[in-house]
Amino acid sequence: MDSIIVTGNGPLSGQIPIAGAKNACLTLMPATLLSDEPLTLTNAPRLSDIRTMTTLLQSLGAEVQALNEGQVLALSSHALTSTRAEYDIVRKMRASILVLGPLLAKHGHAEVSLPGGCAIGARPVDLHLRALEAMGAELDLREGYVHAKAPAGGLKGGIVDFPLVSVGATENALMAATLAKGTTLIKNAAREPEIVDLARCLQKMGAQISGEGTSTIEVQGVETLGGATHRVVTDRIELGTYMLAPAIAGGEVECLGGTIELVQSFCETLDAAGISVEETPTGLKVSRKNGRVRAVDVTTEPFPGFPTDLQAQMMALLCTAEGTSVLEEKIFENRFMHAPELMRMGAQIDVHGGTAKVTGVDKLKGAPVMATDLRASVSLILAGLAAEGETVVNRVYHLDRGYEHVVRKLSGVGAKIERVRNE
């Protein structure tokens, strides 16, 4: 298992290219299952989650070719051989549930393993199932699998009214609705940029969708969908993560490909903390020039609110801020596993349920720490950028799920960081 060693090394300077969004790519890839024509995705990130989705689609008989060092994915589902997503692949990644809607819509039936538990909370899939039921699907949960069947003649348009906002359930509903007969209204839909990106791609394939990016999406079902070529939207979470690097270590870094609209509420929080963000023709330039960061309160919310996927990284920044910050996690239970690790580095954090109180200290000190999940792992690397001495982040395989070339990107702006293989 590999470790990453970071040594606090002063201000950063330079540019970091931001990749295509993991979470967009993970929903764009299963969209291939809706059509017999080829789907080509460009600007794909090179990540283990993308390889897991590739394996899952291939297990169904889809063709998935990674070209141009993995930045282009050529997909085709013209010769599908199975509509069953096996537990062995699904258990590795919850986003596997996103094959359910497309399989059911195109083939009239599907069996998908239930994803099971996950480190950051219970994360059920009831909303995904409810959405498909609203389109006439009959569902049966047996032996750990969802057995789904569409009515004779296929899924029917319906009203999907979500009691709470779910990104994945909105994506499943949207994909399924494109081939359902009649009109589907998705109410209380998620508004994340990844949903808009999915809708754009489906529209290129011939889907009739309006209202994407708002909380009501209307889909007029069509008979068939065609092929498309689509560029994956910029990863706003990778963007926010690297924007925090100069905020924590000092200096000035331009994140290439970033735009304010992807990270509006995050930028407002950075501004309140005393970090400057400037939009350039090529990206977002972030700097911390004057003194210490100020404490700010953060509440995670569905988009356009502050993203839960940036909460751990933001906490790393606030560990050395002037004053006390209160972070409220409203999306997932048990998403403060990075807090005890940051405390090993000298941070002062009090966690009570979904609230963490962070009292800034002058400086963190390097320590051996353990990555517990994807975002937690990168928050420890960020914390290490400004800590005194060496921080060794163990179990970095979590990191490979969501961040490509972390060492290359951070050392490119002057950070002292290396990856070592532990025998």
Q: Lay out the site mask for ligand UD1 across 145-164 (x = CB under 6 A, - = otherwise).
A: -------------------x
Please tell me whether residue 127 binds ligand UD1 under the rule CB under 6 A: yes
Question: Taking contact as CB under 6 A, which single stretch among the options 78-86, 167-175, 255-263, 360-368 is the one that binds ligand UD1?
Answer: 167-175
Q: Is 166 in the site for ligand UD1 (CB under 6 A)?
A: yes
| Of residues 123 and 405, the one with the C-beta less far from ligand UD1 | 123
Question: For residue 181, what are the β-bridge partners?
Answer: 156
- Contact string (CB under 6 A) for ligand UD1, positions 63-102, x = contact: -------------------------------xx-------
Catalytic one of 118, 201, 255, 319: 118
Residues 4-23 that bind ligand UD1 (CB under 6 A): 23
Decide: is 379 part of the binding site for ligand UD1 (CB under 6 A).
no
- Quick one: 243 or 374, whose CB is closer to ligand UD1? 374
- Site for ligand UD1 contains 309 (CB under 6 A): yes
- Residue 51 binding ligand UD1, by CB under 6 A: no
Q: Which x/- pattern over 275-304 shows residues binding ligand UD1 (rule: CB under 6 A)?
A: ------------------------------
128 is an interface residue for ligand UD1 by CB under 6 A: yes
| Residue whose tokens read 């990107």 | 409
167 binds ligand UD1 (CB under 6 A): yes
Give min distance, CB of 213 to ligand UD1, in A.
15
Shortest distance in whole angstroms from residue 94 CB to ligand UD1: 6
Q: What is the 3-state secondary structure (H, E, C) of the chain?
A: CEEEEEECCCCEEEEEECCECHHHHHHHHHHHHHECCCEEEECCCCCHHHHHHHHHHHHCCCEEEEEHHHCEEEEECCCCCCCEECHHHHCCCHHHHHHHHHHHHHHCEEEEECCCCECCECCCCHHHHHHHHCCCCEEEEECCEEEEECCCCCCECCEEECCCCCHHHHHHHHHHHHCCECEEEEECCCCCHHHHHHHHHHHHCCCEEECCCCCEEEEECCCCECCEEEECCECHHHHHHHHHHHHHHCEEEEEECCCHHHCHHHHHHHHHHCCEEEECCCEEEEEECCCCCECCCEEECCCCCECHHHHHHHHHHHCCCECEEEEECCCCCCCCCHHHHHHHCCCEEEEECCEEEEECCCCCECCEEECCCHHHHHHHHHHHHCCECEEEEECCHHHHCCCCCHHHHHHCCCCEEEEEECC
Our CB check for ligand UD1 shows the closer of 123 and 344 to be 123
Binding flag, residue 267, ligand UD1 (CB under 6 A): no
118 is catalytic: yes
**Which of 77, 308, 320, 372: binder of ligand UD1 (CB under 6 A)?**
308
Binds ligand UD1 by CB under 6 A, chosen from 61, 117, 124, 353: 124
Is 40 a binding residue for ligand UD1 by CB under 6 A? The answer is no
User: What are 208's strand-pairing partners?
Assistant: 220
Q: Which of residues 328-347 bind ligand UD1 (CB under 6 A)?
A: 331-332
Residues of this chain that interact with ligand UD1 (CB under 6 A) are 23, 26, 94-95, 121, 123-128, 164, 166-169, 308-309, 331-332
Residues annotated as catalytic are 118
